[in-house]
Amino acid sequence: MPTITTNDLKNGMSLDLDEGLFQIVEFQHVKPGKGHAFVRTTLRNQRTGAVVDRTFRAGEKVERAVIDKRDMQLLYRDGADYVFMDNSTYDQLAVAPETLAEAADYLKETDNAVLMMYGAEVVGVDLPAAVVLTIAETEPGVQGDRVSGATKPATLETGKVVQVPLFVNPGESVKVDTRSGDYISRA
């Protein structure tokens, strides 16, 4: 593992600390009038998603974790697991739904995703900002429902429930924001 000093920290960088694998959300280099300089950081655990604040001495050495990003395609579901294929080597990899977390709500067969790998372990998924999914079930729009901005729940083909406008019907494709889980538009 490459060792770096806390003076070299950048947002988005991953660190292999004694407590686990962390990604830097935010950092601030502080030089008080008295005393030694230090670096105040906000770290997100890449396995659990927990966010912690930690302070390092300026110049302290930490282990940088090398995260490999691989472009993969979801082939199918095998029981509870999701089976992905590496687009460059064609190797297949089974991933547990707990590892994918909320990303599983936006993935359907033949979709591409960027899996973040630490060694042989999947530690995260990068999805596109928006995905197109089909509505599996929702109440049909009724003539006379013309309230501006009114919404109704709709179940997508992946099982995720989102709020959609009253005019959207079952079988239609909609664009959904993967960061917030909100309806964007019809596709």
- The domains found in the chain, sorted by start residue, are 3-63 (2.30.30.30), 68-126 (2.40.50.140), 130-186 (2.40.50.140)
Predicted local confidence at residue 50, as pLDDT: 86
Predicted local confidence at residue 77, as pLDDT: 87
Among 25, 68, 70, 64, smallest CA distance to 45 is for 25
The answer, yes or no, to whether residue 12 has pLDDT greater than 80, is yes
Mean pLDDT (whole number) for 21-42: 91
The answer, yes or no, to whether residue 43 has pLDDT greater than 90, is yes
Predicted local confidence at residue 72, as pLDDT: 92
Predicted local confidence at residue 27, as pLDDT: 92
Of the pLDDT bands very low, low, confident and very high (cuts 50, 70, 90), residue 75 is very high
Predicted local confidence at residue 148, as pLDDT: 67
Predicted local confidence at residue 35, as pLDDT: 87
**96 within 8 A of 166, measured Cβ to Cβ:** no
Give per-residue pLDDT as tens, 133-176: 999 898 876 666 566 677 888 999 888 899 888 888 888 899 99
Q: What percent of the chain has pLDDT over 70?
A: 95
CA pair distance 20, 122, nearest whole angstrom: 14
Predicted local confidence at residue 42, as pLDDT: 94
Q: Which of 27-31, 98-102, 145-149, 168-172 has the lowest mean pLDDT?
A: 145-149
The answer, yes or no, to whether residue 122 has pLDDT greater than 70, is yes
Predicted local confidence at residue 39, as pLDDT: 92
Q: What percent of the chain has pLDDT over 90?
A: 20
* Higher local confidence (pLDDT), 142 or 108: 108
Predicted local confidence at residue 105, as pLDDT: 86
